Structure 1
Amino acid sequence: MASEPVLAIRDLKVRFRTNDGPCEAVRGIDLDVAPGEFVAIVGESGSGKSQSVMAAMGLLASNGEASGSIRYRGTELLGLSPARLNAYRGSKLAMIFQEPMTSLDPLFRIGAQMAAPLRRHKGLSRKAARTRALELLKLVRIPQPERRLDSYPHELSGGQRQRVMIAMALANNPDILIADEPTTALDVTIEAEILALIAELRQRLGMAVILISHDLGLVRKYAERVYVMKAGKVVESGATSAIFERPTHPYTCALLAAEPHGRKAPPPPDAPILLEARDLRVSFDLSRGFLRRERAVLHAVDGVDLSLRRGQTIGIVGESGSGKSTLGRAILKLVPASGQVRFEDRALTGLDRAAMRPLRRSLQAVFQDPFGSLSPRLTVGEIVTEGLLVHEPGLSRGERERRAAEALAEVALDPALRNRYPHEFSGGQRQRIAIARAMILCPALVVLDEPTSALDRTVQASIVALLKQLQARHRLSYLFISHDLSVVRAMSDEIMVMKDGRVVERGPTEAIFEAPQQAYTQRLIAAALKC
């Protein structure tokens, strides 16, 4: 490299103490980042990508330890006290985390959380920090930014929360921006804009970028150099063009070749209807303060109808905030809704919480944010078998252990890992744990809310294959909510396209992809083919 690295990592090793003995997450890697350079780190979940940069930020879990050398402009960061590291974190090195809901404080409004680092690192007044926070929300294209400053994290969609995290990371014009799966929660039309924004700021500010991503299309488009990691080691590195056009390591070749493929076999024509929804509506009152006269109402789901057969998958797509996830929660009776929902020809609309409890076994969900839905105090085995304690209380502990082992094996996780805790797993591994927890009860309907968004391409393909196998074996029905249209295409019989709470287009999967009728659908599909 022509210039002195702004970040130089040498022989970095990261180890975690676990109930099953030490776990070697990173095994002696070297990595350099020049000033203003755009570097990407790719690899499967559990390859050590995130733990490498977490070590650089001094953010390893309490049972983790790092050795080697991490130098920022010649200053050794490894071993610095938290107080001394704080002089670098947030101002010199900033990080966008993979799971925004666990990074935002649910008790504070967005504006207050954005203002805190601005006041600490820039010394801005309360008013000036709020003004700057508003500028940043506009920069990352948050709709209604003035209103969002006073919103709580739970009032934003997953994509909107991620954009808030990006705005916070960019607030102090850092020297190095570490982006750990920054577009995981974003729909296809926004993710390209966000990466373009980061690239633009990098040019304007001379900022270096480290991108950790399983989206190889984005890596190819924006990164200048690539490091490929497998099992805690760098197996290949070099210029992006060379890595993509002339990969030398078999693992790199496998990554580049991975893509969800195949088409789902349709359910039998006479398959019975499992779920029906008619004129489903969900509204949220956004008014604040008891003296406020004007009532602001958000119609998150606005008159949606659907009919789902046994063994069928309906893909639900649309931009962040379109109402996809809210629709899924309304069908599961997790949010108040009006309209009619029938499951197995039984009306769910008037059922209270107690009456719904016996049906929960048949109505399962896998949510977008696996870390937020997994208890940090339970082992993976305990998490996966939570439902069995409720729905099969007569099972012995040994039988629950056996069922947990089978469920973990089905989602390509080693059953021997069931005594570990969620924080000891990568984001993709945590999502597989969440899938195992849902599948262990053999439900009839599963609402899959971005189930592959945190997974790299090689694991996505295996999860898609697994979901198809389980569906065929047990005649499962899926509502598949996703912004990843390639996965939706591989999984779905039909597609519903949502915008502003309404269904703007629906039809058989191939008809939607080959001949979309609405301009909005055409834009979504065009964005998905950006790379």
Structure 2
Amino acid sequence: MQQENSERIFDIRGIRVTFETPDGAVEAVRGVDMHVNAGETVAVVGESGSGKSQIMMAAMGLLASNGAVSGSARYRGQELIGMPRSKLNKVRGAKVTMIFQEPMTSLDPLYTIERQICEPIRVHGGLSGAAARRRALELLKLVHIPDPERRLKSYPHELSGGQRQRVMIAMALANDPDLLIADEPTTALDVTIQAEILGLLAELQKKLGMAILFITHDLGIVEAFADRVYVMQKGLVVETGTTADIFQRPAEAYTKMLLAAEPEGHKPPVGDDKPILLDADGVSVTFSMKGGLFSGGGFEIKAVQNVGLRLRAGQTIGIVGESGSGKSTLGRALLQLLPSEGRVVYQGTPIQGFDRGAMRPYRRNLQMVFQDPYGSLSPRMTVGEIITEGLLVHEPSLSGREREQRAMQALKEVGLDPGMRNRFPHEFSGGQRQRIAIARAVVLKPTVIVLDEPTSALDRSVQKQIITLLRDIQENYNLSFIFISHDLAVVKALADYAIVMRSGQVVEEGPTGEVFDNPRSDYTKDLMEAAFNLKQVLSRQAAARAG
């Protein structure tokens, strides 16, 4: 936490960031001042596209090739803007480190976790190979990676999203930095791990005197964790102040909107008289992992163990649990996207074990929206082509004009301008890309959609829009959803039935109101407290450490 009369270690003055695009220059940051004191935690909040991340990318010399920066960014008096790369490399990664939002694009898929953690330790710390490995193992334990010795030999694709994010945090902490810049570092983490990581950062901050600059759209984290806040909109700081002032006495309409953009409402349960569309029982998924070149035999991971559910017409089942709990694997198994055991019946037809060809007639009715729309949307296809791709398979008799009309209608249904259909995915924001992914599923008029973390990377204001959108689509077409998420506030607002998973098993289930308001298992109670009482959880952690 901030210390009285502490030294200013990071000082930004008049930063402007401009990108040259085919449509002309785009000014992403328009003259911003901010600072961070030693030992202080400062949060920068704002919607996607507000420019909050680009400020830090510019200061650290990490702008895209079409970006340009002017202004000043000083670390302990050293000007970083325009600093030669060789000199800048001695600052970033050692004194100033950065955690990025999407670990899968930051971790090298060809290198083991051990090699990727050890590299900054050896470069900046000068440790030997054996000493660097010991430090890497210590860091994995510090960020609560299970079975850390084995995970050192793993590759990024063998870890869950939350585990990959924890690896990124371990890498950033490897050299005991003076300033940690964290860009949405908990987006991919479930609520209990969020609390652990935030508690860990607070502990390390106190121990090392480290300052933290926290870029996030999660205002719950900001309120629990930050000393001061900068609120950004369209490249400008529109409000700044202490966390207490910003949350209790916001002055700007935009800040008030952000604070009010929490998911709200609830979905009434469907009746038992509604037909069962998807009936699953005893679903289990086991992954056989091969051993390394020198480590010998492999091992098995029981990702899902004996899980059942019944999804009725018009119902939304929310599946929650920590990263690695098996909830996403279960969703894929239900749609026969990976091998599994057990029974899965769709509208009276057992589809368990169907291969790709046998499943094809059922695909239009059983759709999936994936967590990362940027990864699931082809960058080489226009939005119109992406949305109508499924129609080529399932409705081949449609003419090109008819497919285009269907794409335009789908875009309207998800709140996007049909005139955007000839653009490419990279030309859209994260929230818009998620709408496109939903449009691709909806255009086929399915009966069941599995939504895998569809709002996890979105601002609260955009999340609220997506929730409203999904409610409207469900009502208009009597759709059934399986909604997989670690964001309990979103599940509470959208689902009428909740399933809580841990280590591949169901620990609790029932109507959403009962599970959230009167949880029976200790694990569910911990989830709820971490989700809705984060400030109290962090305070208790701090008291335990002090004691």
**Would you say the 8 A contact 2:384–2:422 is kept in 1?**
yes
TM-aligned CA deviation for residue 12 of structure 1: 1.9
The match for 1:149 is: 152
Change in 2 beyond 3 A, CA 1:499/1:97: same
2:244 is paired with a residue whose SS is helix
Instruction: State the distance in 2 between where 1:133 and 1:290 align.
Output: 21
**2:76 is equivalent to residue 91 of structure 1:** no
Change in 2 beyond 3 A, CA 1:66/1:98: same
**Would you say the 8 A contact 1:431–1:454 is kept in 2?**
no
**2:110 is equivalent to residue 104 of structure 1:** no
TM-aligned CA deviation for residue 427 of structure 1: 4.2
TM-aligned CA deviation for residue 77 of structure 1: 2.3
TM-aligned CA deviation for residue 395 of structure 1: 5.7
Moved more, 382-391 or 502-511: 382-391
TM-aligned CA deviation for residue 268 of structure 1: 4.7
TM-aligned CA deviation for residue 63 of structure 1: 3.0
Moved more, 366-375 or 317-326: 366-375
**Would you say the 8 A contact 1:91–1:174 is kept in 2?**
yes
Moved more, 473-482 or 22-31: 22-31
**2:132 is equivalent to residue 120 of structure 1:** no
Change in 2 beyond 3 A, CA 1:122/1:397: farther
Instruction: State the distance in 1 between where 2:62 and 2:471 align.
Output: 37
The match for 1:198 is: 201
Which of 299, 302, 327 is the equivalent residue of 1:296?
299
Change in 2 beyond 3 A, CA 1:405/1:107: farther
Which residue identity is paired with 2:170? A
Q: Deviations over 1:258-291 (max 9, x none)?
A: 2111111333543221111121111112351589
TM-aligned CA deviation for residue 489 of structure 1: 0.9
Which of 77, 82, 88 is the equivalent residue of 1:79?
82
TM-aligned CA deviation for residue 20 of structure 1: 3.7
Change in 2 beyond 3 A, CA 1:479/1:81: farther
Which residue identity is paired with 2:122? R
The match for 2:240 is: 237
Moved more, 431-440 or 273-282: 431-440
TM-aligned CA deviation for residue 152 of structure 1: 1.8
**Would you say the 8 A contact 1:187–1:483 is kept in 2?**
yes
Instruction: State the distance in 1 between where 2:294 and 2:91 align.
Output: 44
Matches within 5 A, 1:86-485: 86-289=89-292, 296-392=299-395, 403-404=406-407, 406-413=409-416, 421-423=424-426, 425-485=428-488
Which residue identity is paired with 1:52? I
**Would you say the 8 A contact 2:369–2:452 is kept in 1?**
yes
**Would you say the 8 A contact 1:105–1:153 is kept in 2?**
yes
Which of 51, 65, 72 is the equivalent residue of 1:48?
51
**Would you say the 8 A contact 2:291–2:297 is kept in 1?**
no
1:9 is paired with a residue whose SS is strand
The match for 2:517 is: 514
Instruction: State the distance in 2 between where 1:525 and 1:470 align.
Output: 28
Which residue identity is paired with 2:509? R
Which residue identity is paired with 1:315? G
1:119 is paired with a residue whose SS is helix
2:163 is paired with a residue whose SS is helix
Moved more, 237-246 or 53-62: 53-62
TM-aligned CA deviation for residue 65 of structure 1: 2.6
Instruction: State the distance in 2 between where 1:209 and 1:31 align.
Output: 13
The match for 2:41 is: 38
The match for 1:491 is: 494
**Would you say the 8 A contact 1:19–1:419 is kept in 2?**
no
Aligned length: 531
Instruction: State the distance in 2 between where 1:138 and 1:525 align.
Output: 25
TM-aligned CA deviation for residue 212 of structure 1: 1.2
1:13 is paired with a residue whose SS is strand
Q: Deviations over 1:123-149 (max 9, x none)?
A: 222222211111011000111111111
Q: Which runs of 5+ in 2 are unaligned?
A: 535-547
Q: Alignment identity in percent?
A: 63
Instruction: State the distance in 2 between where 1:120 and 1:247 align.
Output: 45
Q: Structure 1 length normalisation: TM-score?
A: 0.93
2:323 is paired with a residue whose SS is coil
Q: Structure 2 length normalisation: TM-score?
A: 0.90
TM-aligned CA deviation for residue 428 of structure 1: 4.2
**Would you say the 8 A contact 1:102–1:372 is kept in 2?**
no
1:87 is paired with a residue whose SS is helix
Change in 2 beyond 3 A, CA 1:163/1:423: farther
Moved more, 289-298 or 208-217: 289-298
**2:528 is equivalent to residue 525 of structure 1:** yes
Instruction: State the distance in 2 between where 1:66 and 1:429 align.
Output: 27
**Would you say the 8 A contact 1:19–1:420 is kept in 2?**
no
Instruction: State the distance in 1 between where 2:503 and 2:278 align.
Output: 23
